[in-house]
Amino acid sequence: MMTCEKSCVVDVECINLEPWLSDSKIICVGSLNCSNGEIKIFYSDNEKEMLEEFFDYFYVNNFNCIIGFNTLFDLRYLLARSLKHQINVNGFFKTKYDDVMLLLNSCGYRYSLNRAGQLSEWSEFLLGNGNGKIKLEEEVSELYKHGKMEEILKYNKQDLVITHALWKRIKEVLG
């Protein structure tokens, strides 16, 4: 686990799992400032403008560590879409990162061959009843197609909060 002075939880919601497909798109990028708990979610019909706004925010706030759950998925998606739109990312991809999923998975790989668990499972187990993830009636891509942005934004915000809480717990225990 890294020591990070100015950390930010990042979570991406997207249309599908492959950023290179013709119908791929980032729906929103959520950010939680670990110093003050401020949550900012970037969303727009114009993906390029949304990403530019997110990267500017990240740069202006001088974050030096990205926290996430399955962070490499989010980073890969952000990179692919930034390359497509030729966006100056202001050094974003040089930033250190901590992946809560990898930290929790390392126990599974070391001590057993059991699957490592999803964000919802770890949330329920470590944070208790009432802190589980929102159960969506439809996939995020279907919610987007039906114009249900409020549900997507609520889901993204909850992922940010849960990931931050799990990261804080791990940080407290591991030191």
Question: What is the per-residue pLDDT for 81?
Answer: 96
Dihedral of CA atoms 115, 138, 144, 129 in degrees, nearest 10, equals -60
Question: Mean of the pLDDT values across residues 112-132?
Answer: 64
pLDDT band at 138 (very low <50, low <70, confident <90, very high): confident
Taking residues 152-161, report their average pLDDT.
93
Longest Cα–Cα distance in the chain: 45
In tens, the pLDDT along 62-119 reads 999 999 999 999 999 999 999 999 999 988 999 999 999 888 876 644 444 555 667 7
For β-strands 96-99 and 39-43, DSSP reports them as: unpaired
Q: Domains of the chain: which residue ranges? A: 7-174
Report the mean per-residue pLDDT for the chain: 86
Q: How far is CA 108 from the centre of its chain?
A: 22
Strand runs labelled E in 44-122: 65-68, 96-99
The pLDDT of residue 5 is above 80: no
The pLDDT of 29-54, averaged and rounded, is 97
Per-residue pLDDT for 1 more than 60?
Answer: no
Q: How many CB atoms lie within 10 A of CB 12?
A: 24
Report residue 157's pLDDT band, with 50, 70 and 90 as the boundaries.
Answer: very high
DSSP letter at 113 equals: S
| Dihedral pair phi/psi, residue 97, rounded to 5° | -145, 150
Separation CA 165–CA 93 (nearest Å): 24
SS3 state at 29: strand
| CATH superfamily for domain 7-174 | Ribonuclease H-like superfamily/Ribonuclease H (3.30.420.10)
